[in-house]
Amino acid sequence: MTKKSLRPKINGPYLIGIDIGTFSSKGVIININGDVLAEQYVEHGVNIIRPGWVEQDPEKCYWKDFKFIIKSLIKKSKIDPGEILGIGISSLSPVLIPINRKGEAIRPAIIYMDRRALNESLALKKNWRRKHRKDYWECG
């Protein structure tokens, strides 16, 4: 006697959601009914260069995590990748990743937690408010 699955087989299309966060990346694949077919989680860290300076390796933390999660979700769910209708991506922001002409990162990403330009930012904010006080208060 063979066991029958209690859950009926649902064919595609499928949707994938990926979230690249500060300390981890995670993904999920669902069918059109919203049933979760597979999940994947990967931890990564931040590099604190010195107090207030916070960076990440964009190749490892973003691109390699993304590729690993996609491959894992497809393998775990055993779906036909041709039936994936779309991929939604969310991520931490803002992040500064300088790139070369080939689109390759040329240095570690400077992430939202970085405070190396705090004094400059406060000076710009103060100067902007002084010059635009009337417009600022009328708009908001």
Our CA angle for 103, 109, 111, nearest 5°, is: 135
Our CA angle for 58, 59, 64, nearest 5°, is: 120
What pLDDT band is residue 125 in, cutting at 50, 70 and 90? confident
**Residue 46 CB contacts under 8 Å (≥ 6 apart), including other chains:** 22, 23, 54, 55, 56, 111, 113
What pLDDT band is residue 128 in, cutting at 50, 70 and 90? confident
Bridge partners, residue 36, by sequence: 30
74-100 pLDDT tens trace: 999 999 999 999 999 999 888 999 999
* Domains of the chain, start order: 14-139 (3.30.420.40)
Report the percentage of the chain scoring pLDDT > 70.
86
